[in-house]
Amino acid sequence: MTIDRILKAASVIPVLEIATIDAAAPLAVALAAGGLRVVELTLRTGCALDAVGKMKNAAPDLIVGMGTVRSADDIAASRKAGADFIVSPGATPALLDALAASGVAALPGVATASEAMTAEEAGFKALKFFPAEAAGGIACLKSLAGPLPDLVFCPTGGISAERAPDYLALANVACVGGSWIATKAMIEGGDWDQIQMNARYAAGMKR
């Protein structure tokens, strides 16, 4: 599965932090029932890798990526766990080399024009723009569109439900990432109805 195909299946990608493995299956069911097809787990908890398989078993059509990937070891572990794609918060030369060598669909993270150009030189034309709001948000992405017309971005970081449509209106934005769909508190509280409602609202957003 290519990153282009994955991005075409998503307008908003929920960024998820799962603290307990028991939450993985009902979370996947709620997100899929709300109409979302692509999700990103974060490699910040001890059960994140195990959660990939649990989510895919519970919602077989869900495309599950692993985020917060920072090393070749993280890439290997994520692939072994069954992640469909990889997302990184940044993109060091070593990480870019490891991502390219792995052949896995990936969204390397960038925050500046120089970082975006470095990622493009490594063969990546779809990039995560992070942390989106703190790094200049919509104004920055508009500025990057002129000199870097071949690149598309998935801005993530500080983007609210209200701001997401403004990002999606940009020509160089393929989709946006957002934690508001299923916050850590919602997941820990088992608020699956609210998560499904948020997912349905996100799925209705158009580029």
CATH architecture of 3-203: Alpha-Beta Barrel (3.20)
128 is catalytic: yes
pTM: 0.96
Q: Give per-residue pLDDT as tens, 33-80.
A: 999 999 999 999 999 999 999 999 999 999 999 999 999 999 999 999
Residue 206 has pLDDT above 90, yes or no: no
Q: What is the DSSP letter of 21?
A: G
Burial of 161 (0-12, 13-18, 19+ CB in 10 A): middle
The residue annotated as part of the active site, out of 54, 56, 128, 184, is: 128
Predicted pLDDT at 50: 98
40 is catalytic: yes
Residue 207 has pLDDT above 90, yes or no: no
The residue annotated as part of the active site, out of 17, 40, 54, 56, is: 40
**Residue range 150-167: mean pLDDT, rounded:** 98
What are the sequence ranges of the domains in the chain? 3-203
* Residue 178, φ and ψ in degrees, nearest 5: -155, 135
Q: How far apart are CA 83 and CA 101, in angstroms?
A: 16
| AA identity, residue 120 | E
